[in-house]
Amino acid sequence: MIIGRVIGNVVSSRKYDTLQGYKLLLIRLQYTDKREVIVAADVMGAGIGQQVIVSFGEGNQYALTKNAPIDALVVGIVDNEPIIDLSEQP
């Protein structure tokens, strides 16, 4: 799992049938050296500007109500931004 910040919505008028009903979000990854933006399905109701926890992989199917081709899924909304002390990093 990773932490990211929601920076936008993805609007898709046509998509795979089992993706119907899932909100798709643009998420900028945080706490990593990569400057990367991903698309993740959302079942938590996250909004733009919120920090979220994103899960990847086959395990996401356990959190879904139907089988869908989702490899990135918002599984939590962060209440308080984590405090990370980078001075202890090697």
Q: Please state, rounded to an integer, the average pLDDT across all residues of the chain.
A: 89
Give the pLDDT confidence of 22-61 residue by residue, as tens digits.
899 999 999 888 889 999 999 899 999 999 999 998 888 8
Planar angle of CA 70, 37, 54, nearest 5 degrees = 45
For range 57-80, the mean pLDDT: 88
pLDDT at 90: 60
Contacts with 14 (C-beta within 8 Å, 6 or more apart), sequence order: none
pLDDT at 85: 75
Which is more confident, 57 or 74? 74
